[in-house]
A and B are shown apart, each in its own frame.
Chain A
Amino acid sequence: MPDGRRAQTEEVKGMKKRKVVMDAEAIERSLTRVAYQIVEKNKGVEDLVLIGIQKGGVLLAERLGRKISAIEGVPIPAGKLDITLYRDDIMKSGKQREIGKTDIPFSLNGKKVVIVDDVLFTGRTIRAAMDALMDFGRPKLIELAVLIDRGHREIPIRADFVGKNLPSSQSEEVLVKLSKRKTSDSVSIEETF
């Protein structure tokens, strides 16, 4: 009961207004549904692998992997992918970006790869991720699972599995907080005035 209330709570921090749109339980339920959808759409888990995009997608991929394993009773390989070197703005951003760890300890040839990320926004990250994956092998197919789809696509990319559609304005920021212990997980939307 108190959790239901918290979802409506508004916090004001400085000139920013933050609203929690998903709490830990809501995230958990969404992931459970997405896990079932992945199994259903792929007619089982044969050749299925999950690739989490650094940083937000890594923990999500691990969690989805555990849920799918629990449903089907077999372990699901999960890897992590850092797309920094494949970004289309790397030479223009005026920033030196730190390069995260890429760890895909299995072959992608002939695999059904589900890319996992926390927020789908412009689609450019996913474009970069697909280019990167192609350099690791030739997957049978690539699907995309995201926790939040906030719209504003700049390239023709869509998700196959969506935890929650969250219409947002360009000026808002969507914050996904996930931790290993899950209790303080949340998705919130922050508006700057």
Chain B
Amino acid sequence: MKLARKDLLGIQELSVEEINLILDTADSFIDISTREIKKVPTLRGVTVVNLFYEPSTRTRTSFEIAAKRLSADTINITTSQSSVVKGETFIDTARNLEAMNPDIIVLRHSAAGSPHMLSKVVRQSVINAGDGAHEHPTQALLDMMTMREKKKRLTGLKVAIVGDIAHSRVARSNIYGLTKMGARVSIGGPITMMPRYVERLGVEVHYRLEDAIREADIIMMLRIQLERQETNLFPSLREYAKYYCLNRKNIAAARDDVLIMHPGPINRGVEISPEVADGPYSVILEQVTNGVAVRMALLYLLSGGKS
């Protein structure tokens, strides 16, 4: 089995076999991060450019650590410090980067489809680190890795995803991935945050938190983007929290051994109460740990296979 791709743009185009290959490879990278010397020489001489047009700490750091643990060189470009502020277009920036011969470009951009466009312009491998409200494939992969690690399977799991589904690339990538892998996905949130025709993706749609998480093996709470308050998706944070904050009481609707996940950063007391976020079923920090392994696996798989 081989990942015969130049780029990783989304979960939508991946096959079950490819997802399994990435997750299996990621499993074998977990140990490296716990060793005394957290570095292997595998990607010596490979250059990874992290091109981030949106603020990110977790994802960018995770990619950077992943690359460094494989001995690749990394360069971080964030738009506030780059020539984007001088008016350079995205494509011109990409062509200039390409001329410096990196091997992999990791892109985060607020416009859906930008990694796809970039992959057609440059010969380097492109990894989508989040494009608008479209996809965030490495997040979904690390989520699936965490679920598989804890529950030993994905097939047949009931996964509830709750929050602003319409604007969430994390939700979209997870829905694509989990339904492919045979999990049952139920989504929940206020009607203003549900994309139209979302049931066509093969998910159950609920508008009450308790209905969405009933008998769930895994609950994934999405971050409420505070900046969206002005867009009238919900009247107030307080009201959102009243109906959709996962707390010790409403969590009882889920299975006793439910796992709580969150892609971060969390708004304590808005979508998740502190006692749940820090509680025994929370695997939020394991997600972060696994994120490094998944990104190592992708850098490895996309760099290999070149002749």
Q: Which residues of A contact B (CB under 8 A)?
A: 82, 85-86, 90-102, 131-132, 135-137
- Provide the bound-state CA to CA distance between A92 and B304, in Å: 8
Q: Which residues of B contact A (CB under 8 A)?
A: 1-3, 25, 28-29, 31-32, 35-37, 39-43, 45-46, 70, 300-301, 303-307
Interfacial chain B residues near A95, Cβ < 8 Å: 2, 304-305
- Provide the bound-state CA to CA distance between A86 and B32, in Å: 13
B306 partner, pick from A94, A100, A101, A131, beta carbons under 8 A: A94
B301 contacts A96, C-beta separation under 8 Å: yes
- With A96-B2, A96-B3 known as contacts, the answer to whether A136 contacts B36 (CB < 8 A) is yes
Nearest first, the 8 closest Cβ-Cβ pairs linking A and B are: A94-B307, A96-B304, A99-B28, A85-B40, A135-B37, A85-B42, A96-B305, A96-B2
B35 contacts A136, C-beta separation under 8 Å: yes
- Provide the bound-state CA to CA distance between A132 and B31, in Å: 13
Interfacial chain A residues near B28, Cβ < 8 Å: 82, 99-102
Min CB–CB distance A131 → chain B (angstroms): 7
A91 contacts B39, C-beta separation under 8 Å: no
Residue in chain A with minimal CB distance to B29? A99
A86 contacts B40, C-beta separation under 8 Å: yes
B304 partner, pick from A97, A101, A132, beta carbons under 8 A: A97
A90 contacts B42, C-beta separation under 8 Å: yes
Instruction: Determine chain A's interface SS by DSSP, over half rule.
Output: loop
- Provide the bound-state CA to CA distance between A82 and B25, in Å: 13
B36 contacts A137, C-beta separation under 8 Å: yes
- With A101-B28, A102-B31 known as contacts, the answer to whether A94 contacts B40 (CB < 8 A) is no
Min CB–CB distance B220 → chain A (angstroms): 28
Interfacial chain A residues near B39, Cβ < 8 Å: 135
- A sample of 15 cross-chain residue pairs with beta-carbon separation below 8 angstroms, ordered by A number, consists of A82-B28, A86-B40, A86-B41, A90-B42, A91-B43, A92-B307, A95-B304, A96-B2, A96-B301, A96-B304, A96-B305, A99-B29, A101-B28, A132-B40, A137-B36
- Provide the bound-state CA to CA distance between A92 and B306, in Å: 7
Interfacial chain B residues near A96, Cβ < 8 Å: 2-3, 300-301, 304-305
Residue among B3, B42, B45 with max Cβ neighbours from chain A (10 Å): B42
